[in-house]
């Protein structure tokens, strides 16, 4: 076994990542209010959009049907919820950097990338737990799965893959700022335009013509439409926009998420090595 600066094998790196993930999960369990507060916002969005706007937004193929909109809505709420993991990842890594915990890891014979991989994996587990609770709330307001268990699992798989990809964006943000407060702000400020300029809450055809291509090529939109198809939450007469990500949303969602992971993991690990070198 070598030192932190030496090359460490894949098996040892995976073990180190799991150790770091366990440490972060135990820490999260000791602060349950983090998970509780993480649930408040998506639940508020479900209630507000389902009952306040549900009868006034036109769903292609279903018109102004409130029940159809509730099912149309949930794909967007699920996707928005998993992307908000970026703020937790950014703040957590920034806090570890500020408190010097990362410096302690440097003195251990462990893979450097394990610190970030372990952190993002812990955030993925937390996101999965939040999704379970949110699915129960969605069921209570009328959301249902119509295309079988396997397709539903595929939909949740796309959501978790998107959430995991965004935790790597959060990791890079956390390494690039000086305080957890700045990391939280930096992790959230760009998420709102990303999620609202998409097909999450309204169909792209309801947007100005110049904005429609932005929403339809938004990686977030591909995941939203993909999970709607897998959950069977689209009206029978729904016609997707004639652009590649909207015609092949499951494939586009997976492809976009993998690209984000590859790019931002590379940037985050490089930033981490520079910060701890």
C-alpha span between 66 and 74 (Å, rounded): 13
Q: What is the pTM of this model?
A: 0.87
Q: Are 21 and 92 in contact (CB under 8 A)?
A: no
> Within a 10 A sphere around the Cβ of 255, how many other Cβ atoms?
14
Backbone angles phi, psi at 201, to 5 degrees: -115, -25
Q: What is the pLDDT along the chain (277 residues), one digit of tens a residue?
A: 344 444 556 677 787 888 888 887 887 777 777 777 777 878 887 888 777 776 677 777 766 777 778 888 899 999 999 998 888 888 888 888 877 776 666 666 676 678 888 889 999 998 998 899 899 888 888 889 998 999 999 999 999 999 999 999 999 999 998 888 898 888 888 998 999 999 998 888 889 999 999 999 999 999 999 999 999 998 888 888 999 999 999 999 999 999 999 999 999 989 888 877 6
Confidence at residue 3, expressed as pLDDT on a 0 to 100 scale? 42
Confidence at residue 89, expressed as pLDDT on a 0 to 100 scale? 86
> What 3-state class would DSSP assign to 60?
coil
Q: What is the DSSP letter of 59?
A: B
* Helical ranges in the chain per DSSP H: 10-30, 32-51, 66-83, 85-99, 101-106, 113-140, 149-176, 180-188, 191-196, 212-216, 219-231, 244-247, 249-276
Confidence at residue 95, expressed as pLDDT on a 0 to 100 scale? 85
C-alpha span between 255 and 260 (Å, rounded): 9
- For 134, how many CA atoms within 13 A lie in the half-sphere containing its CB? 31
C-alpha span between 103 and 100 (Å, rounded): 5
Q: Are 213 and 230 in contact (CB under 8 A)?
A: no
């Amino acid at each position: 076994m070598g030192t932190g600066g030496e090359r460490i094998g894949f098996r040892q790196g995976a073990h180190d990542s799991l150790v770091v993930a366990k440490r972060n999960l135990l820490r999260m369990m000791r602060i349950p209010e983090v998970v509780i507060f993480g649930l408040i916002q998506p639940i508020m969005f479900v209630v507000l959009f389902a009952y306040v706007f549900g009868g006034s937004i036109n769903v292609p193929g279903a018109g102004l049907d409130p029940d159809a909109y509730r099912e149309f809505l949930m794909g967007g709420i699920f996707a928005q919820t998993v992307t908000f993991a970026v703020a937790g990842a950014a703040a957590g890594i920034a806090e570890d950097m500020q408190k010097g915990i990362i410096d302690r890891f440097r003195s251990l014979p462990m893979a450097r990338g394990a610190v970030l991989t372990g952190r993002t994996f812990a955030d993925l587990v937390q996101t999965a737990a939040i999704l379970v609770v949110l699915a129960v709330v969605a069921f209570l307001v009328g959301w249902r799965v119509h295309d079988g268990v396997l397709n539903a699992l595929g939909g949740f798989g796309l959501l978790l893959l998107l959430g995991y990809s965004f935790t790597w964006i959060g990791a890079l943000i956390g390494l690039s700022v000086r305080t957890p407060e700045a990391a939280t702000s930096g992790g959230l400020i760009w998420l709102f335009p990303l999620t609202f300029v998409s097909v999450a809450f309204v169909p792209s055809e309801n947007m100005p013509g110049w904005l429609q291509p932005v929403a339809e090529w938004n990686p977030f939109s591909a995941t939203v439409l993909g999970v709607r198809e897998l959950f069977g939450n689209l009206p029978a007469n729904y016609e997707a926009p004639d652009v590649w990500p909207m015609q092949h949303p499951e494939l586009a969602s997976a492809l976009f998420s993998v690209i984000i992971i590859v790019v931002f993991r590379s940037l985050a690990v490089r930033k981490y090595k520079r910060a701890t070198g």
